[in-house]
Amino acid sequence: MEIVISNAPFNRAAALALRQATFVTERGIPRDVEFDDRDTPERLYVVAYQRPELPVGTLRLEPQSATEMRFGRVCTSQQLRGQGIGRQVLQAGEAWAKKHGFLSGLIDGELTAKSFYERCGYQVIGDPFDEDGAPVVTLKKTF
């Protein structure tokens, strides 16, 4: 498994393709909702590649302040879920954030993924809310 953290066109394309498959095609989220104004050419994406031509997991790095990083749009290829790829992508994002001076991470996770994030060390910090038609909670982890 290779993990790339960059805004290079190939990495951005891989991240967006995974999100298209996961959130738009599989989950039915409208494409104009899934792909928002935070998907800029400057945005960094963490992408796990099973092979150079096969991206299998991703997340978007979204700095909230000088010390807090949001990990957004976390997803893994449907056929490879449950194999630890999501954890690897999240750990790579956390390591990058720590290295660059961030002290904590935030995730708005769907309730169906809450236990996954809790196993990764995140704690719920608020009540559930609706995001793109799904119930979501905000979780936080101090590095």
The CATH number covering residue 87 comes to: 3.40.630.30
Indicate the number of domains in the chain: 1
Specify if 117 maps to a domain.
no
Question: Residues of 33-47 as b/e, b for ≥16 C-beta within 10 angstroms?
Answer: ebbeeebeeeebbbb
Specify the pTM. Answer: 0.93
Q: Are 66 and 101 in contact (CB under 8 A)?
A: yes
Structural domain of residue 59, as residue ranges?
A: 2-106
Specify if 56 maps to a domain.
yes
Specify if 55 maps to a domain.
yes
Across residues 56-72, what is the average pLDDT?
A: 97
Specify if 135 maps to a domain.
no
For 37, residues 6+ apart whose C-beta sits below 8 A from its C-beta are none
Specify if 96 maps to a domain.
yes
Specify if 116 maps to a domain.
no
Percentage of the chain modeled with pLDDT above 70:
100
- Give the dihedral of Cα atoms 3, 9, 18, 36; nearest 10 deg: 120
Specify if 8 maps to a domain.
yes
pLDDT interval class at 133 (50, 70, 90): confident
Q: Say what the pLDDT of residue 134 is.
A: 81
Q: How far is CA 37 from the centre of its chain?
A: 16
Pairing of strands 129-131, 123-124: unpaired
Specify if 120 maps to a domain.
no
